[in-house]
């Protein structure tokens, strides 16, 4: 299997083992004010687990409520925008495994279009303010690059920074118990895949599973060597079609991809290899991974109290 099959972030990780880390910039400031997706639904480190998509959404809702409270204390309004759905948080792996998700969303093109057109009410509010007031608003929400910064070293090398003082930092500190510890643990936990992705993608067990997947797809009428090739071929299949017909083609191909992932060893082999390769990671990451799991579950418990609801 060629290294080209490995993407920089998701590599050979299936949809249930998605990553949203891969942070390469030196500064972290996000208008979305949302935590990153964890790497797996379950993990072998410690006795903890990663949050489910529904639980993560609950934590995000609590975070938004805490940000709104903090901004009010600083004299600013804050509007809670649209939160992601469970479907929004799935389908980001190197190949699809959930047939139901594929039937509803294809490869997620409409989900992507919808999220690209979601208004940012707080960004719009800041832009409408006089320049100095807009800067004060943004600094209160996300922090100022000129203020004291937290720095985290990434497993892949380099560092990422974030302001210590902001309503985003305040909200996450209240949710996770210690913002500094959380920031560093989260940056480690969500940036480990590139350490082993290339080796996993070239593992004979994986490449054999991909060949069986390809044979299944061929039987279904889709002649592609890898899931990457299938997605690369989709634009040509959709060329000249109406929007509805193009989407129907997308759904058919996505459903075939997910179906063959389950009918062949691809899904179970990738899961097993993912666990195997992560177990081989240096022990220096163990404490951060355990902290990430523990603090995520602590945040979930606090989110349930803050929102008055459960996932």
pLDDT above 90 for 97: yes
Helix (H, G, I), strand (E, B) or coil at 22: coil
- Which range, of 53-62, 83-92, 93-102, 298-307, averages the lowest pLDDT? 83-92
DSSP letters, 237-294, are: HHTT--HHHHHHHHHHHHHHHHHHHHHSTHHHHHHHHHHHHHHTS-GGGHHHHHHHHH
Where residue 93 falls among pLDDT bands split at 50, 70, 90? confident
pLDDT tens for 115-144 read: 887 889 999 999 999 999 999 999 999 999
Identify the pLDDT of residue 40.
Answer: 36
Retrieve residue 76's tokens: 């600013």
Per-residue pLDDT tens for 164-222? Answer: 999 999 999 999 999 999 999 999 999 999 999 999 999 999 999 999 999 999 999 99
Q: Could you tell me if 192 and 155 are in contact, meaning their C-beta atoms sit under 8 angstroms apart?
A: yes
Of 202, 206, 195, 204, whose CA–CA distance to 278 is shortest?
195
Checking if the pLDDT of 304 tops 90, the result is yes
Strands 149-153 and 159-163, bridge-based pairing: antiparallel
- Average pLDDT of the chain to the nearest whole number: 86
Whether the pTM exceeds 0.85: the reply is: no
What pLDDT is attached to residue 27?
Answer: 56
Cα separation values, 277 from 176, 193, 195, 196, 198, Å: 28, 9, 9, 7, 11
| pLDDT band at 2; cut points 50, 70, 90 | very low
Beta-carbon neighbour count of residue 25 at 10 Å?
9
311: pLDDT confidence band, cut at 50, 70 and 90?
confident
Instruction: Tell me the per-residue pLDDT of 25-53, one tens digit each, with 9 for 90 and over.
Output: 445 654 333 333 333 333 444 456 889 99
Higher pLDDT, 31 or 156: 156
> What would the mean pLDDT of 10-37 be, rounded to a whole number?
38
């Amino acid at each position: 299997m060629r290294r080209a099959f490995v993407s920089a972030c998701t590599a050979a990780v299936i949809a249930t083992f998605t990553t949203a880390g891969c942070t390469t910039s030196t500064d972290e400031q996000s208008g979305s004010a949302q935590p990153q997706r964890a790497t797996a639904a379950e993990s072998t480190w410690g006795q903890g687990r990663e949050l489910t998509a529904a639980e993560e959404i609950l934590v995000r809702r609590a975070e938004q409520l805490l940000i709104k409270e903090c901004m009010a204390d600083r004299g600013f309004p804050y509007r809670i925008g649209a939160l992601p759905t469970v479907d929004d948080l799935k389908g980001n792996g190197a190949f699809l495994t959930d047939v139901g998700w594929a039937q509803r969303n294809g490869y997620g093109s409409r989900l992507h279009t919808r999220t690209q057109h979601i208004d940012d009410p707080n960004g719009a509010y800041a832009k409408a303010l006089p320049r100095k007031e807009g800067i004060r608003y943004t600094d209160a929400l996300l922090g100022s690059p000129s203020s004291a910064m937290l720095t985290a070293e990434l497993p892949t090398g380099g560092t990422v920074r974030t302001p210590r003082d902001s309503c985003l930092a305040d909200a996450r500190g209240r949710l996770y118990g210690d913002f500094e510890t959380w920031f560093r643990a989260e940056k480690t936990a969500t940036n480990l895949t590139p350490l082993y992705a290339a080796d996993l993608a070239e593992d004979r067990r994986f490449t054999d599973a991909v060949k069986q997947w390809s044979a299944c797809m061929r039987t279904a009428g889709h002649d592609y060597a890898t899931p990457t090739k299938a997605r690369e071929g989709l634009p040509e299949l959709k060329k000249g079609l109406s929007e509805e017909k193009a989407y129907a083609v997308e759904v058919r191909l996505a459903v075939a991809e997910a179906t063959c992932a389950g009918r062949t060893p691809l899904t179970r082999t990738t899961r097993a290899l993912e666990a195997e390769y992560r177990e081989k990671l240096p022990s220096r990451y163990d404490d951060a991974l355990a902290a990430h799991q523990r603090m995520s579950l602590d945040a979930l418990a606090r989110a349930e109290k803050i929102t008055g609801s459960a996932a």
